[in-house]
Amino acid sequence: MTDILWLSIAEASDLLRSGDISSTELTRATLERIEASEPAVHAYAGVMAESATRDAQRADVELAAGGSRGPLHGIPVGVKDLCFTAGFPTSAGSRVLEGFVPSYDAAVVGKLRGAGAVIVGKTVTHEFAYGQDVPPTRNAWDHACYPGGSSAGSGVAVAVGSAFGAIGTDTGGSIRAPAAVNGVVGLKPTYGRVSRKGVFPMSPTLDTVGPLTRTVQDCALMLAAIAGRDGASDVWALDEPVPDYVASLSAGLEGVSVGIERDYFFYDAVAEEVRSAVEAAIATLASLGANIVEITIDGLELSVAAGMPVLLADTSEWHQRLLRRQSSDYVRETRVMLELGELVSATAYVRAQRVRATVQQGLRDAFDRHGLDAVLAPTLPLTTMPVEALSVDLTGDGQTALSTFIHHCFIANVVGVPALSVPVGFSPAGLPIGMQLFGRPFGEAALFRIGHAYQGATDWHNRHPALVPS
């Protein structure tokens, strides 16, 4: 039964529609995998076994009647515990919300259900997605190591086969970091591409919701299902048409231009094993026909300084009342960041928003000057590290591992562009390495095209962790 867990969503969908497997079988196998893997990896905050079994049976009845709702119909997926699920607890990884049960589904959950997906559980998040605490979740490839964050459970669940795909959120790298360190694909969509309705917020101009999967093709299928507004009154997404993300997946890389910015992304904090894996990926893309262009991007070095006051102040504003009522229920490190956000001055906030415009202009100029489809960089400068070696400094000004993660990832949130993390190899210690592709606003299809071509030429995405690492 284990083998069906490693099917891609696309493969499983074909088998579901042909009647060769059922959603009930897929869901049962997934729930068994959750039971077997959870003691080691703790990817789930809550498992929805009963409702998932019911939803799978309903999906099978619809399929038997010839009523497929699309590629996600009958597919078991996980959802980050930051997203509202009607009638099922949503705690955002915090004691502050203990006992909270939403009365409605987040827009992204509603869209998944509408597409026929079977939601098997809520995946673990760092407290309110701030990335400051150490959750119980462990890396899929080394259970002593950091699982990435804040969508830690989503990355790990997809990697260990306890979900075919999962939903994460990304305000400064929270989809791409767990994707990279667990060896899966993760997309931070364009700001406003996926509705944030019913998702606990950090910053209204930095937050995004997106998918984690094992293949780029699956990522495109999931985005197609969750993109767009949830009705005309949805102010949590932008009113942009949703293109066919699958149509151009196999178009190849002839005529595609990929920029490489070495000063900012290939600096001395990048580990040699990461550098060589990403350089090999660049060579692979070139061999497939991509035009690789060496570029410079003005203002990149300002991105963390521009984004951080916004992230801090926005998040603290939302927590203002809770912090005064339930201060002791927060993890200390989260609470300190919330206290810090209250001390950001209004002028510093507006100044930062003006600097964001500069950073955005610099990236746009680089894309236009070189006719780029994407900019490629290591997703993170390092592989994962033992949990006890983790040092937190979310202000982004230090030299800690998490500060360097923010250095690589935050730019996409600061300027709102999409960024796709794709596995590109392993370190000598067997730890996954990812590359990320930044695109133009609403340019996800180009990123999928590049990532899909890369996965067609490599097999990193077909390697899976053992439940008990050797």
Nearer to another protein, 327 or 462 (CB): 327
CA nearest neighbour of 389 among 134, 127, 94, 40: 134
Identify whether the C-beta of residue 128 lies closer than 8 Å to the C-beta of residue 149: no
Nearer to another protein, 185 or 323 (CB): 323
Can you give the C-alpha Rg of the chain in angstroms? 20
Residues 100-129 that bind another protein (CB under 8 A): none
Nearer to another protein, 273 or 317 (CB): 317
Nearer to another protein, 117 or 304 (CB): 304
Helix, strand and coil in the chain, % to nearest 5: 45, 15, 40
Binding mask 188-207 for another protein (x = CB under 8 A): -----------------x--
Full strand arrangement of the beta sheet holding 257-260 = 44-47, 118-123, 76-80, 165-170, 208-213, 185-188, 419-426, 432-438, 374-378, 257-260, 291-294
Residues 428-467 that bind another protein (CB under 8 A): none
Instruction: Name the active-site residue from 13, 22, 23, 80.
Output: 80
393 in contact with another protein (CB under 8 A):
yes
181 in contact with another protein (CB under 8 A):
no
Binding mask 221-260 for another protein (x = CB under 8 A): --------------x-------------------------
Identify whether 91 is a catalytic site residue: no
Choose one: 99-107, 110-118, 325-333, 381-389; the region binding another protein (CB under 8 A): 325-333
CA distance linking residue 406 with residue 408, whole number of Å: 5
Choose one: 212-220, 257-265, 270-278, 333-341; the region binding another protein (CB under 8 A): 333-341
Nearer to another protein, 343 or 429 (CB): 343
One of 138, 188, 356, 408 touching another protein (CB under 8 A): 356
One of 361, 391, 399, 462 touching another protein (CB under 8 A): 361
Instruction: Name the active-site residue from 8, 22, 151, 174.
Output: 174
Identify whether 174 is a catalytic site residue: yes
Phi, psi of 422 (to 5 degrees): -130, 135
CA distance linking residue 26 with residue 59, whole number of Å: 11
The DSSP secondary-structure symbol of 282 reads H
CB under 8 Å to 292, separation ≥6 — which residues? 258, 260, 282, 285, 286
Choose one: 78-86, 285-293, 392-400, 444-452; the region binding another protein (CB under 8 A): 392-400
CA distance linking residue 247 with residue 202, whole number of Å: 34
Q: How far is the CB of 336 from another protein (least distance, A)?
A: 5
Q: Could you count the other beta carbons within 10 Å of the beta carbon of residue 376?
A: 23
One of 62, 279, 317, 333 touching another protein (CB under 8 A): 333
One of 342, 365, 368, 388 touching another protein (CB under 8 A): 342
Residues 253-312 that bind another protein (CB under 8 A): 302, 304-306, 308-309, 312
3-class secondary structure, 143: coil
Single-letter amino acid, residue 13:
S
CB under 8 Å to 297, separation ≥6 — which residues? 261, 264, 362, 363, 365, 366, 375
Identify whether 80 is a catalytic site residue: yes
Nearer to another protein, 218 or 314 (CB): 314
Residues 398-417 that bind another protein (CB under 8 A): 398
CA distance linking residue 156 with residue 160, whole number of Å: 6
The vertex-34 CA angle with 30 and 35, nearest 5°, equals 120
Number of chain positions touching another protein (CB under 8 A) = 42
The total number of residues written for the chain in this structure:
470
Q: Look up residue 129 and give its two tokens.
A: 């997605």
Instruction: Name the active-site residue from 23, 91, 150, 427.
Output: 150
2 in contact with another protein (CB under 8 A):
no
Q: Give catalytic residues, as residue numbers.
A: 80, 150, 174
Which residues would be at the binding site for another protein (CB under 8 A)? 205, 235, 302, 304-306, 308-309, 312, 323-324, 327-328, 332-333, 335-337, 339-340, 342-345, 348, 350-358, 360-361, 393-398
